[in-house]
Structure 1
Amino acid sequence: MVAGALKKLRDEHRFAELITRTCGIVFEPGAAQERLFNVVAGRMSAFGIATPDEYYALLCREERELQALIELLTVNETYFFREPEYLNLLVDVLIPEYLANCGEGPVRILSAGCSTGEEPYSLAILLRQRFGAAAERFEITGADIDTKALAIATHGTYAAPSFRRTDPLLLQGYFEATAGKSYRVREEVRRMVRFEQVNLLEGGAATVGRQDFITYRNVSIYFSAEVQRAIFRRLADLLPEEGALIVGASETLHHDLGLLHLVERNRLFYFSGKPKAGEKVGARERRAGSAAGKAAPLPGRPVLPPQSGPEPKLGRRIPVPPRPGCPTLTAAPHRTAAAAADSFAAALAAARQMQYDEALTLAEAAVAANPSTMPLVLKAGLLLQTGRYDEAEGPAEAALDLDPLCAQASLILGIAARNRGDDQGAFRRFREALYGDASCWLAQFYAAEILFAKGEAGRARAGFETVINLLEKGDDQELTVFPLSYEPGQFLSICRHKLTLMQGPK
């Protein structure tokens, strides 16, 4: 029955339009649309519904079924302490400044699109680590449309993938081991966070009331530009002049709509209702003739009392981990895993010597011994390196099956799609890569190239400027699958040339 329903659904557009109208999610042609069709077909089969007309009518009259469908389609892949530079900016800089100027009373923080809760709990942990017992004044709200994700968040129990970038000391100090190799957030952290179902597109964010700080990170990538603007306006309405709104690193310039001031602090950007003296304001304020000074230095310790209570005696800041986009391979005690690790290391060494045929043979041996993420990515990268674009897609897809946030695998698929002329598919893959690793400058570059070719000068300019910023501050992290052919200096020159071509009124 599912196969029959799928055949009928592939000519349908109204299901995608209904979901987009309801919550803003956009289904681009390709894998996203196919996933929508499969989910709808599965629901039709579960209800014994034979035609799309019947199921569409059910969605229109039964809000509960529409919500169930949305929850099956939302992406809930996240982890603790993601993009730690921005968490450190909020906890170490913006909040202490706010407290020094705004006196007593609760401080409200909204994590918009919080999914299964890793971000609001990350904030709660860092606030307790920095302020000790005084952290009780912070009121954190996690908001999301997905009730199942919120149920997970409320319980606060997570498996290993959620801790892929968690410092072991933080794991030990703020989580309790449970059955099945999972960990639960400790009660003193959980009580700092409440969760609420909110549809950001329909204006539900207003129900949470005024917020002093808002994080809205890596959510809008699933929305159209129109929906992005609508949601950003609603969030901006919640923010006082003294507050701040932080979006994902790859999303910042796209939200510079003139609604809030874009402020730079030490190469990191956030939105503020009112820029303070000495801060750089965004491009729109510069064009309007606003004065912009140099970025203010990071302040010293906060006015609040030092850490107290039973909190673990840990360092203040989250370590910012290396960001290659995928986990590194570690040798297991088993012989096959050790052989795979040896083959992988040898393959990488051969690739760096430009001995690609030998490197590919060794990479294939590593995959055969242990088909884990990094050997698959290296194999795909070597196939790409030797011009075998179609063959590269298989191992790259397999790597994504193991690690959906593997930036390098998405990057390879984007380059392969671009090579065959599928710019739309390539752009989608480059955005996936940036979701997995916001500092993936090569994905940012290729996405900007596509926008430049389409004549979207503003977005292309923002992309090229982001690449330059990443490379100039040293964020040319190792691209394991591209050992030599992708020289950062060459890309800097190309970006500057493209910006020269686009000179004129911004």
Structure 2
Amino acid sequence: MIAAPSRTPVGRFAALVEQRLGLHYDPPQWGELESLLTERASGSGVEKYLEQLASTPSPAEWKALAERLTVGETYFLRHPTQLETLVDQVLPSFLRQTPHVRVLCAGCSTGEEPYSVALLARERGRVDASRLRVMGIDVNPRAIAHARRACYSPWSLRAVPLAMREQWFQRTPEGFALRPQLREQVVFEERNLLEESAAFWAPNSFHAIFFRNVVLYFPPEVIRKIIARMAQALVPGGYLFLGPSETLRGISEDFELLRGGDAFYYRLRPPAPPAPLAVPPSAAPQRAASSVSAPVFTPPTPPPPLEGLDGVLQLLEAERYAEAGTLLESLSQATQPMGLLLRAVLHLHAGRLSQAEQLGRQLATASATEAPAHYLLGLCLEQFGDERGARGRYAAAVRADPTFALGQLRAGTLARRAGDVVEARVGLRMALSMLPQEKPLYLALFGGGFGRHGLMQVVLQELQACTENS
């Protein structure tokens, strides 16, 4: 249900935002909306602005609001097991039946996800690039413009192995630009998921749809409508991928849940067969009752939400950054060192590097947060292009906590890039030996979506690169 209009200006603004963009804001989150409302209404006054927004909605104004209210927290090869399932299993199964396969990435933000599909399809070699069509859609026009430009920061490429980075990206003064053959394989559209379009959501339009880490921004009734449209647009037996912490339970009965390795995803159920005609009991054939029933897969029950800073950490690890920030601001512990560290990490994920760096410098002087603060400052310096300074911060993180495996990993990686192969090997081998015992806190804050096993694979790839370059 759309939020009931409130008598307060910010409450009415929240209702309009939800009605037009589908984004739901509870009263504790209205502080973010209030500052935006004040800014946008500065010329005409709040009451007149709200009246104009409700009676004669301006497409240009809603585009501006969408740019400010939709947050693009993404990076290349995010949740890689799902991407591997798509290109290794799902798409090849369709290519045996049709000349082309079509993948939609809904809520694609700045384009890393659809480009990851195209990149991994080429890397794995199971899908002919000429037979793959990838589309990304998002309501944020600035994000779509960024996606079409296809130039990204090192932070967006943090999960991309070196060999892939060198093959598919070109270093430019602005960052890393995708090579043309990959960029041209993906098309982007500015599109609001709440707006109906019979042509776009026509039956048999897509073989797979990615709708990851978007569900949490919408209320349930909006999600039901969007998922119903997606089910309509998929080919029979098509696939839907949600984020690891998202579920269709209570949302849709049109899909069955599947598991491949560590990846969970959904497949469109076939239409229910027509009910058989009633047969008189005397005419019905007699069959022996079967005691064997088809196995039913029951998805794991998500863990109950935690409270306090543990709850913030749980949300951060699930990449639910907006919720993590809202919860953190409501806690008295937000001003304690661990609360400030979590806030700094949230600044980093949102691209607010100056705020993250300021807090990191403050936290580096406290013993409880010294090691992760130095590591965070290293990540900031990498974003600023100062790899030498970043190496110094990673070394400081390891001095503060000699068991900090991720610090050894980043220091070793940057040493290899700088040509210091001996130092790189030492750091990377230390990281490999210490990762099985890495602190869960460090993995949650800085693992980048990788578990221990995935990070160990990254270390092995870096060690292989050291061998190749020596």
Give the TM-score category using the shorter length: 0.5 to 0.7
The answer for the alignment partner of 2:169 in structure 1 is: 175
> Does residue 1:107 correspond to 2:53, yes or no?
no
Please name the residue that 1:71 is paired with: 67
CA distance in 2, matches of 1:73, 1:204: 23
Secondary structure of 2:234 counterpart? coil
Q: TM (normalized to structure 1)?
A: 0.54
Amino acid at match of 1:19: V
Structure 2 counterpart SS, 1:207: coil
Q: Secondary structure at the match of 2:81?
A: helix
Q: Provide the residue aligned with 1:187 in structure 2.
A: 180
Give the CA deviation at 1:294: 8.2
Output the amino acid matched with 1:263. Answer: L
How far does residue 20 in structure 1 lie from its aligned partner after superposition?
0.7
- Separation in structure 1 between the aligned mates of residue 251 and residue 93 of structure 2, nearest angstrom: 23
Residue 178 of structure 1: how far off its partner (Å): 1.1
Q: Distance in 2 between matches of 1:256 and 1:86?
A: 21
Query: What's the offset of the Cα at 1:325?
Result: 6.7
One-letter amino acid of the structure 2 residue matched with residue 41 of structure 1: T
SS in 2 for 1:243: strand
Shift in Å at residue 390 of structure 1? Answer: 5.8
Q: Structure 2 counterpart of 1:24, which letter?
A: G
Q: State the shift of 1:290 in Å.
A: 7.6
Question: Unaligned regions of 5+ residues in structure 2, if any?
Answer: 1-5, 271-291, 299-313, 318-327, 357-435, 445-470
Question: Is contact 2:211–2:240 with CA below 8 Å preserved after alignment?
Answer: yes
For residues 269-318 of structure 1, give each alpha carbon's deviation from its aligned partner in whole angstroms, at most 9, with x where no partner exists. 2211248xxxxxxxxxxxxx9823789xxxxxxxxxxxxxxxxxxxxxxx
Alpha-carbon distance in 2 for matches of 1:272, 1:150: 28
The separation in 1 between residues aligned to 2:346 and 2:88, in whole angstroms, is 34
Please say if residues 229 and 255 of structure 1, whose CA atoms lie closer than 8 Å, have aligned partners that are also in contact.
no
Match of 1:12 in 2: 10
d(CA) in 2 for partners of 1:201, 1:251: 19
Which residue of the partner structure matches residue 262 of structure 1? 257
User: CA separation of 1:204/1:40 partners in 2, compared to 1, >3 Å: closer, same or farther?
Assistant: farther
Secondary structure class of the residue paired with 1:105: coil
Structure 1: gaps (5+ residues): 1-7, 276-288, 296-322, 327-379, 410-474, 484-506
Residues 263 and 269 in structure 1, CA contact (< 8 A), matched pair in contact too: yes
Question: Which of 292, 295, 298 is the equivalent residue of 1:292?
Answer: 295
Q: How is 1:320-331 mapped onto 2 (pairs within 5 angstroms)?
A: none
In 2: Cα distance, 1:480 partner to 1:90 partner: 30
Aligned counterpart for 2:79 among listed residues 83, 98, 107: 83
Alignment check: 8 A CA contact 1:263 1:272 kept: yes
Distance 1:170 1:52, change over 3 A: farther
Instruction: Sort the Cα spacing of 1:36 and 1:389 in 2 relative to 1 into closer, same or farther, 3 A.
Output: closer
Report the counterpart of residue 42 of structure 1 in structure 2.
39
Q: Which piece of structure 1 moves more, 397-406 or 194-203?
A: 397-406
Opposite residue 122 of structure 1, the aligned amino acid is S
Provide the residue aligned with 2:224 in structure 1.
229
- Quote the RMSD (CA, aligned, Å): 3.5
1-structure distance, mates of 2:11, 2:227: 26
Written as runs of structure 1 = structure 2, the 5 A alignment for 1:110-121 is 110-121=104-115
Residue-pair matches, total = 305
The Cα shift of 1:196 comes to 0.9
The 1:190/1:59 distance shift into structure 2, 3 A limit, reads: farther
Counterpart of 1:145 in structure 2 is 139
Matches within 5 A, 1:54-453: 54-58=49-53, 60-61=55-56, 62-100=58-96, 102=97, 104-131=98-125, 134-180=128-174, 182-204=175-197, 206-207=199-200, 209=202, 210-254=205-249, 257-274=252-269, 291-292=294-295, 391=336, 392-404=338-350
Deviation of 1:137 (Å): 1.0
Rounded Cα–Cα distance in structure 2 between residues aligned with 1:266 and 1:164: 23
Distance 1:37 1:214, change over 3 A: same
User: What is the CA–CA distance in structure 2 between the aligned matches of 1:141 and 1:233, rounded to whole Å?
Assistant: 19
SS in 1 for 2:73: coil
Q: 1:481 to 1:117 in 2, by over 3 A?
A: closer
Distance, in Å, in 1 between the alignment partners of 2:181 and 2:293 is 44
Q: Is residue 20 of structure 2 the alignment partner of residue 22 of structure 1?
A: yes
Q: CA deviation at 1:11?
A: 4.8
What is the one-letter code of the residue matched to 2:71?
V
- Tell me the TM-score normalised to structure 2 length: 0.58
- Does the residue aligned with 2:441 lie in a helix, a strand or coil? coil
Shift of the alpha carbon at 1:397? 1.9
Measured in 1, the distance between the counterparts of 2:244 and 2:198 equals 22
Post-superposition offset of 1:130: 2.6
CA contact (8 A) 1:205 1:234 kept: no
Deviations 1:140-189 (A, max 9, x none): 11011111110111111111221121111111111111113x01111101
Deviates more, 1:161-170 or 1:127-136: 127-136
Question: Once the two structures are superposed, what CA deviation does each residue of 1:368-419 show, in whole Å capped at 9, x if it has no partner?
Answer: xxxxxxxxxxxx9xxx9xx96762433432332233499xx9xxxxxxxxxx
2:463 aligns to what? none
Q: Secondary structure at the match of 2:257?
A: strand
Following superposition, the deviation at residue 324 of structure 1 comes to 12
| Contact residue 324 and residue 478 of structure 1 kept, 8 A | no
- Say if 1:9 and 1:176 are closer, same or farther in 2 by CA, change over 3 A: farther
1:10/1:37 contact within 8 Å kept: no
Q: Secondary structure at the match of 1:202?
A: coil
- State the percentage of identical aligned residues: 33
Q: Distance in 1 between matches of 2:198 and 2:141?
A: 15
The 3 A distance-change label for structure 1 pair 405 and 70 is closer
Tell me if structure 1 keeps the 8 A contact 2:193–2:226. Answer: yes
**Aligned amino acid, residue 184 of structure 1:** A
Q: C-alpha separation between the residues in 1 aligned to 2:19 and 2:121?
A: 37
Shift of 1:199: 1.3
- CA deviations on 1:179-208 (whole Å, 9 max, x unpaired) are 13x011111011111001221122248516
Q: CA offsets, 1:338-396, max 9 Å, x none?
A: xxxxxxxxxxxxxxxxxxxxxxxxxxxxxxxxxxxxxxxxxx9xxx9xx9676243343
SS of equivalent residue, structure 2 residue 103: strand
Matched with 1:480 is 441
| Partner Cα separation in structure 2 for residue 477 and residue 246 of structure 1 | 30
Conserved 8 A contact 2:16-2:54: no
Contact 2:22 2:219 in 1 (8 A): yes
C-alpha separation in 1, matches of 2:70 and 2:443: 32
- Tell me the equivalent position of 2:364: none
Distance 1:183 1:264 in 2: 34
| Contact 1:26–1:222, Cα closer than 8 Å, also in 2 | yes
The answer to whether the 8 Å contact 2:151/2:177 transfers is yes
Aligned-partner Cα distance in 1 for 2:343–2:32: 16
